[in-house]
Chains A and B, each alone.
Chain A
Amino acid sequence: MKVLVTGARGFLGSELVRQLSLLGNMDINALVREGSDTSGIAGLERVTLIKGDLMQPDTIPKALDGVEVVYHLAAAGSGSHTDLILNTVVGTDNLLKHIQGSSVKRVVLVSSFSVYGLKDVSPGAVVDEDTPVENNLYLRDSYTVSKIRQERISISRCAEMQVQLVIVRPGKIYGPATNPIPPQLGLGIPGVCFLYVGGRSLIPFTHVSNCAEAILLAGIAGGIEGEIFNIVDDLLISQKKFLKMFESEMGRIPRRVWIPLPLFKIMGRVFELAHRITKGNVPPVITRYRIDNMYKYVHYDNSHAKVKLNWSPRVPMESGVQEMIRYYKESVGK
């Protein structure tokens, strides 16, 4: 079988390409941008590097040639709202347009946990694939908007083309080479302080190897057409536990200030007012709505992926987090 991996140069994409290559029974087209560093995936068994860009649609047909499964990981992680919409949503649309009439049978779309709207979820509730997707799009950040729009367009286009679509929604992907401090821990105010928010909430971590394996399985498992899978690891750790692990290796986060969640919500209210009064001069970085979505205490369920994909996270949570922190410590030392 031949597969295509978009975003193959990324942190998750390169791990997926590596795992697909290790299977030994697949030919892998790895779509990478011209001029990007391909050292992590170049030379792997049965991997063909295809230079291209979803924003330059004429490069897409070559990447899709003979492909049956598309692992679509390419997306923008930062930039202006327009950059995110262009590179994530328009890029996806360009890809899907070329899938029409091609050999592709299944698209595995790698989305994000951020698409869930947790505002109306009760504290302590379980977040699973039935949790509603955010419907107040523009109360959320541009990244979330781009991922929700990406899902919407994929669902409608794949239905029109009668191509199987499987959506994978990973939590916070971590591993060596990532910034170890997740946004779920708190908010860094550059040059001022780091606000450590709450402490009780669970961080929806998934190790890059575990996540890549789940995505791989989503491309080959039978009977999962149209399904959605949340990917988080087992035995998730709380903010407090993560902070303890991090600081025992790295020392105290400079200018760390603890702020209880209810107080942070009051701060959010003040920011909302300031945003309105100053006609946008104070940016809406902290709002009660976003606070609920980022820091609410909820549980995360991964049983659907375990049952249907026959997946289980191989890298245990605590050792994976330790590995990430030590890697970071060494790279800072260098």
Chain B
Amino acid sequence: MKVAVIGCGQIASAHLGELALVKEAEVVAVCDIVPILADDLAERFSVPHWYTDYGEMLDKAKPDVVHITVPPTLQKRIALEVIRKGCSVYIEKPFCLDLKETLEVIEAAKAGNVLACAGFFQMYDSAPLQFMRYREEGRLGDVVHVESYYGNDMGGSFAKAFLQNTDHWIHRLPGKLFQNVISHALAQAAPFFRSPLDKVTCLSIDRSGNGVLEDELRIMILSGDVTGYITFSSSVKPVVQFARIYGTKSIVELDLGNHIFSFSDDTKLPGPLARIRNALVKGKQMTKAGFGNSRGFITGKDRFFTGMGGLFSALYKAVRNGDAEPPIPYNSVLVTAEILDHISDHCASKVTGERE
């Protein structure tokens, strides 16, 4: 599979690092409007060619799949041009700016008989993969409610950059900070909803008082007979990320930061015995996760971006097989975009309210 990357910023390094471990991938070229970044990335990962014009790169390198790792404001335009050239695309989160753009890209991919895969790579981390198998075994039952929590770290250099610079591209996103980072949390909940959603309600505040961006967000969702909560916090410590899926047979918790899958199921044992049994079952699950994570660390099978590599492989397999849908289903991408639209509307209404 011939792969090219457009956009040589920070996340592109993670892509190249994971691509080096994906056997079927051959990275043929990278591209960035800033030649120094393209040259540096190419040299660092031994990529044979680099370009500053992606049109030229597509014509000369002729990739099968193009990874688009540019700021969100440029994603749609570049994705459409790449699709027009007959290449499948992997588009980093948030995929596009809004639902309209998302639909445009998906329709173009369908019409061009190629795939447009959203970079919701956490879906391919170990805990969500274990959950998929658990659900396929019918142990969850019907989904009643989903909670997804995203802890955001405002202490890093990236946060410093957009807090100090009000001209940073983050401020130009309609959904501001939330739009850039909440996609992973939304993607965990999205498979349980259908687009269009019945109701979405948002609530947000600038809890830290940074004066530049709101940093706390709560979302409530209704889709058919399934409800959901999304929590985004920049204040809670430790910075964690998890999802809870409430089914008619059991409750599943995915600790996404620590790669732990656990569940609570029903038992017919009487109260006191049930308490003992449930604690032991939990202990067993945690012990298993601890050993699994240790093994994964030592063998290198569990890395920070393992899910990304897994999603790349799944996408290349889908492209080879001529599948109609990418490994992240289009419904999930549309649901995520729809919720992001509500977040954007919410942010816009707050700005209008402040002006008034």
A contact residues vs B (CB 8 Å cutoff): 35, 56, 79-83, 85-86, 89-90, 93, 137-138, 145, 149, 153, 277-281
Contacts and interface: CB of A to CB of B under 8 A. Distances in A.
B144 to A, nearest CB: 37
B157 A80 contact: yes
Provide the main secondary structure of the chain A interface.
helix
A280 B300 contact: yes
Nearest to A146: B40
Contacts of A82: 9-10, 13, 37
A137 B300 contact: no
A86 B10 CA distance: 10
A277 B295 CA distance: 12
A149 B300 contact: no
Interface string B10-43: 1001000100010000000000001011001001
A82 B34 CA distance: 12
Contact of A278 (B17, B36, B298): B298
Most buried by B among A83, A138, A279: A279
Contacts of A83: 10, 157
Nearest to B11: A82
Given A277-B298, A278-B298, A149 B40 contact: yes
Contacts of A35: 164
A263 B10 CA distance: 35
B303 A280 contact: yes
Contacts of A86: 37
A81 B36 CA distance: 13
A280 B303 CA distance: 8
Interface string B269-302: 0000000000000000000000000000111111
B164 A138 contact: no
B100 interface: no
A279 to B, nearest CB: 3
Nearest to A85: B40
Interface string B38-66: 00100110000000000000000000000
Nearest to B297: A281
A278 B299 contact: yes
A145 B9 CA distance: 16
Contacts of A137: 43
Given A278-B297, A280-B17, A281-B300, A149 B36 contact: yes
B208 to A, nearest CB: 18
A90 B34 contact: yes
10 contacts: A83-B10, A83-B157, A86-B37, A90-B34, A145-B40, A278-B299, A278-B300, A279-B21, A279-B303, A281-B298
B303 A90 contact: no
Interface string B299-315: 11111000000000000
Contacts of B40: 85, 89, 145, 149
User: What 10 A-B pairs have minimum CB-CB distances, sorted nearest first?
Assistant: A279-B300, A82-B10, A278-B300, A79-B157, A281-B297, A89-B36, A90-B36, A85-B40, A138-B44, A82-B9
B13 A81 contact: yes
Nearest to A55: B165
Contact of A277 (B9, B300, B302, B303): B300
Contacts of A277: 298-300
Contacts of A85: 36-37, 40
A90 B37 contact: yes
Contacts of A149: 36, 40
Interface in B75-133: none
A311 B218 CA distance: 63
Nearest to A281: B297
Contacts of B44: 81, 138
Contacts of B34: 90
Contacts of B37: 82, 85-86, 90
